[in-house]
Amino acid sequence: MGAAGRAEDVALVDAFLAQAKFLSGPAPEFGYKPRGKDPSWEANWPLVNSAGIGESGSIRVRYAPSSQEPFSILLEFRERCVCRIDFDKETVCHDNPPWAQGMGVPVRVCGPHIHTWPLNREHVLRQDKWLIQCRVPLPPQIRRFDQAFPWFADQVNVTLRPDERNFDLPRELV
Q: How far apart are the first and last CA of the chain?
A: 42
Residue 151 lies in a domain: yes
pLDDT (0 to 100) of residue 37: 74
- CA dist 149 and 74 (Å) reads 10
Task: Tell me what percent of the residues of the chain surpass a pLDDT of 70.
Answer: 96
Residue 130 lies in a domain: yes
Instruction: Summarize pLDDT for 89-120 with one digit per residue, the tens.
Output: 999 999 999 999 999 999 999 999 999 999 99
- What is the radius of gyration, based on Cα positions, of the chain? 16
In the predicted model, is pLDDT for residue 19 greater than 90?
yes
* pLDDT tier at 29, thresholds 50, 70, 90: very high
Q: Is the pTM of this model over 0.95?
A: no
* Beta carbons within 10 angstroms of residue 85's beta carbon: 25
Residue 132 lies in a domain: yes
* pLDDT tier at 1, thresholds 50, 70, 90: low
Total domains in the fold of the chain? 1
* pLDDT tier at 88, thresholds 50, 70, 90: very high
Instruction: Summarize pLDDT for 139-149 with one digit per residue, the tens.
Output: 999 999 999 99
In contact, 170 and 63? CB cutoff 8 Å: yes
* pLDDT tier at 38, thresholds 50, 70, 90: confident
Residue 41 lies in a domain: no
Please report, for residues 16, 45, 47, 125, the alpha-carbon distance to residue 10 in angstroms, rounded to integers and kept in the order given: 10, 22, 19, 7
Residue 61 lies in a domain: yes
Q: Which residues contact 79 (CB under 8 A, 6 or more apart)?
A: none
Higher pLDDT residue, 128 or 14? 14
Higher pLDDT residue, 37 or 75? 75
Domain ranges, residue 145: 3-35+51-159
Residue 72 lies in a domain: yes
Residue 92 lies in a domain: yes
Strand partners, 74: 60, 84
Residue 46 lies in a domain: no
Residue 39 main-chain phi, psi, to 5 deg = -60, 155
- CA dist 104 and 13 (Å) reads 23
The one-character DSSP state at 53 is -
